[in-house]
Amino acid sequence: MLKHNFHKSHSASCTTVFPVPIAKPFLSGGGNAAAALSLPISHKNTTTIPTKKSKRISRGGVIIRRQYSGSSTGVKAVLIAGSEKSTTTVKAVVTVLQTVGGALTHLGLNRGLDDIADVLGKTLLVELVAAELDPKSGLEKASIKSYARKTGKDDNETYYEASFEIPEDFGEVGAVLIENEHHKEMFLKNIVFNGFSTTTTNDSLEVTCNTWIHPKFDNPEKRVFFTNKSYLPSQTPTALERYREKELEILRGDGQGERKTADRIYDYDVYNDLGDPDSDVDLARPVLGGPDHPYPRRCRTGRPRTEKDPLSESRSSSVYVPRDEAFSEVKQMTFSAKTVYSVLHALVPSVQTSIIDTDLGFPHFTAIDTLFNEGYELPDSSTVVSLRNIIPRLVKAVSDTGNSALRFETPEFIDRDKFAWFRDTEFGRQTLAGVNPCCIKLVTEWPLKSNLDPEVYGPAESAITTELVEQEIGGFTTVDEALKQKKLFILDYHDVFLPYVNKVRQLKGTTLYGSRTLFYLTPADTLRPLAIELTRPPIDGKPQWKQVFKPTWDATGVWLWRLAKSHVLAHDSGYHQLVSHWLRTHCCTEPYIIATNRQLSAMHPIYRLLHPHLRYTMEINALAREALINANGIIESSFSPGKYSMELSSVAYDKLWQFNLEGLPADLISRGMAVEDPTAPHGLKLTIEDYPYANDGLLLWDAIKQWVADYVAYYYQEPSLVESDTELQAWWTEIRTVGHGDKKDEPWWPELKTPDDLIGILTTIIWVASGHHAAVNFGQFDFGAYFPNRPTIARTQMPTEEPKDEERKQFMERPDEFLLKCFPSQVQATVVMAIIDVLSNHSPDEEYIGEQIQPYWADDRVINAAFERFNGRLMEIEGIIDARNADTNLKNRAGAGVVPYELLKPYSEAGVTGKGVPNSISI
């Protein structure tokens, strides 16, 4: 809110003469009130010469003359200015960012017309709107308009200035309307006003915009920007109520037609655009969202349906996202257009053409090392040469030939210890401190059993028996004691994968099992793998097959264990990418973004709290639908479930996802990794004390929760305000019943009645978008680039499952070649390595959690102080994590060759660093 007391001057009034309609809508601030706002304002005295039949009435310094015409048609009322009213001069500087898009598109005739508009001072029409209605008339006060003239340029910013003469009775400025007179959109950064007399010595006031402004020639609707003061719906200044609701109506749209690039409309749709049946029937994919395949909703694009499948939406070269969800200019230059897009659309095809046999694996382990030492020589083309400048980290010039090579940086994991991936201790450590640390569970029931139908999938009871386990832990304890002492843990990918085993096995170049991996917690707080069970359901009249593999000392057993471990790691990689990463962060967050923009006004304090945590996610999700999770995209072609990958993520959403378990403490408790304990730090006692993801995550969770609690307490000082907040209630209802509508009837949804309810909901959303996403994303290159550590696919079956003579012979004679054949092909490995290199990268303009205060809060002492405490706590967390990583007693994060656990350190420099928690899911 631009709150001010005007410097008084004795200049003439700047109000003009305008008619006052008697219609009811105008008197209530709606309807024809817009007509009054759109009239031009003169900066001179204006008078009306009375006619013979007139009556003069004075109301609040404004003279109303009732003029009676000679006819019998009635009364015409006119407002005119008083003759001596004080005004103040206020100047505004509008900052517009020069964009690459603007530079490239401002060519030709339109560029010339826009230059003329700049010369004439007709670039931007700025209109000030009073916050309150006139207290005496109940009408909206006339807005004050001025054209902003171009006055200068500095680097990538262009400045426009406007001047306003504001009457003393105008009151507070509540909003600014902007009309773009150019023929191309402009990116408006902010508007800074000078000349207001405030309670401080600083008379400079700012309206934050950070948005694209469409040209009036495309859409005559002016853009409204509210001032930086936040209001609950019930506290909205009277003259801004209709603007508040009108802006939300625009953002909601009408649900019709195909969305255009410049649109700002947020609406819902199912995931019906992943397949491409018109180009190939084998690329048809089921619709995700609805009773058959429950799923969160995505942003509606309105593209036409495919010819061969009326339920599916046709694909296009670019996927619509609301205009303000697009990446910033820096991200466009350094991340989106220049890296992800280049990798997907230029580098990947180059790799695929340079390796003739797409099924060819690596002939020996040293060949894998060449990816980091020498690289692949890429085809000699102008596209490939240009990649050197776009992604120099990946594509490098070959000095002796002048060609280009795809060469990867050596990941820190391998740089520290080249053989760590081979060891079982590292296998166990990464379940607690790797890139997928949120799937390990405590074993609470014995024996292990499946919940699947035994008539379809075979016997439910696991082949991991008490006797087998006690052979492994006999020197320590019994199974019963281990269960009581909470020493047995499991990675359980049995029930989620087993229904897809037979389907996946019909695909070329991949295979699948259901799997269980059992661990024992040692006295050193490390996890020791005990057994791996691989299961195939009945197939082709043959019964269920299952086998347990365990660490052993004989040569055959050692290689069978390594093969079984590679299958489990492929399962873990697939589940990580499809569920822990894509589903739980990217996919489930999109409905929060849509609902926030549709139901919470830009002046709502909760909108302003959430906005930094929801930026850019829709853009990266659209890019994923375009080339990562689509039919025959990177995920389908490189991960074990193949074409069933996204369908499998729908099953996980249906069976496993609950909003009330997405917060870190609830997640840990639900997996048996913690119990509530009011005497313990964070109110939780961890089952495994040295659990880096949980230990660091709880520090971050508590910091977020305290910041949210301080913020909510400030704006909802009366508990009843939460339940009476109409926008907030509509927001939460829409998330539950539309955005996650396939789960709308679940009993576990939190209520939203009290400030504590709100704090819990907001903390969960912010945690998922920041901490959870950082933990499962930014370590992908370090842990996955050397793919034997985390293969994304297992291409061959175990040699003990009905082996052919040739396969048995190869395994017995050259087991290392058999393992290499099971690993991803050269194309698959190289493509995935390029993708996770980009996905692990921090943009130079990364916005880290708690780093920069939002401009809306900067002038509010209470919120400013709360944010400073939040920022200070995050800086303190940085030091705590560093100290933990230096403590050699913590075996899961410190030791010879061990990569320190830094994924939840709040801050990072740009690049692939393995640390840093951005505000939002921006990659």
* Residues catalogued as catalytic: 581, 586, 773, 777, 923
Q: What are phi and psi of 489, to 5 degrees?
A: -135, 160
DSSP classification of residue 525: S
C-alpha–C-alpha distance, residues 73 and 89, integer Å: 42
C-alpha–C-alpha distance, residues 643 and 754, integer Å: 45
Encoding tokens for residue 272? 């019906």
C-alpha–C-alpha distance, residues 379 and 861, integer Å: 59
Residue (of 87, 17, 13) closest to 43 by Cα position: 13
Residue 507: its H or E element = none
C-alpha–C-alpha distance, residues 193 and 91, integer Å: 6
In sequence order, which residues have a C-beta less than 8 Å from that of residue 214 and are 6 or more positions away?
180, 185, 223, 262, 323
Q: Look at residue 188 and give its three-state secondary structure.
A: strand
567 with 549: CB under 8 angstroms?
A: no
C-beta atoms surrounding 707 within 10 Å: 24
C-alpha–C-alpha distance, residues 438 and 432, integer Å: 8
829 with 360: CB under 8 angstroms?
A: no
DSSP line for 341-410: HHIIIIIHHHHHHHSS-TT---SSHHHHHHHHHT-EEPP--HHHHHHHHH-TTTEEE-TTT--EEE-PPP
DSSP classification of residue 11: P
For residue 447, cis peptide bond before it (omega within 30 degrees of 0): yes
Amino acid sitting at position 601: S
561 with 532: CB under 8 angstroms?
A: yes
C-alpha–C-alpha distance, residues 402 and 423, integer Å: 40
Q: Is 840 left (phi over 0), alpha (psi -120 to 50) or beta?
A: alpha
3-state helix vs strand vs coil in the chain, percent to 5: 40, 15, 40
Question: At which residue do the structure tokens 């661990």 appear?
Answer: 519
Q: Look at residue 912 and give its three-state secondary structure.
A: strand
Q: What are phi and psi of 460, to 5 degrees?
A: -85, -25
C-alpha–C-alpha distance, residues 139 and 29, integer Å: 6
Amino acid sitting at position 423: R
Residue (of 153, 51, 29) closest to 102 by Cα position: 153
Q: Look at residue 153 and give its three-state secondary structure.
A: strand
Encoding tokens for residue 811? 């395994």
755 with 712: CB under 8 angstroms?
A: yes
634 with 830: CB under 8 angstroms?
A: no
Q: Where are the beta strands (DSSP E) in 677-727?
A: 684-686
The number of CA neighbours under 13 Å toward the Cβ of 876 is 10
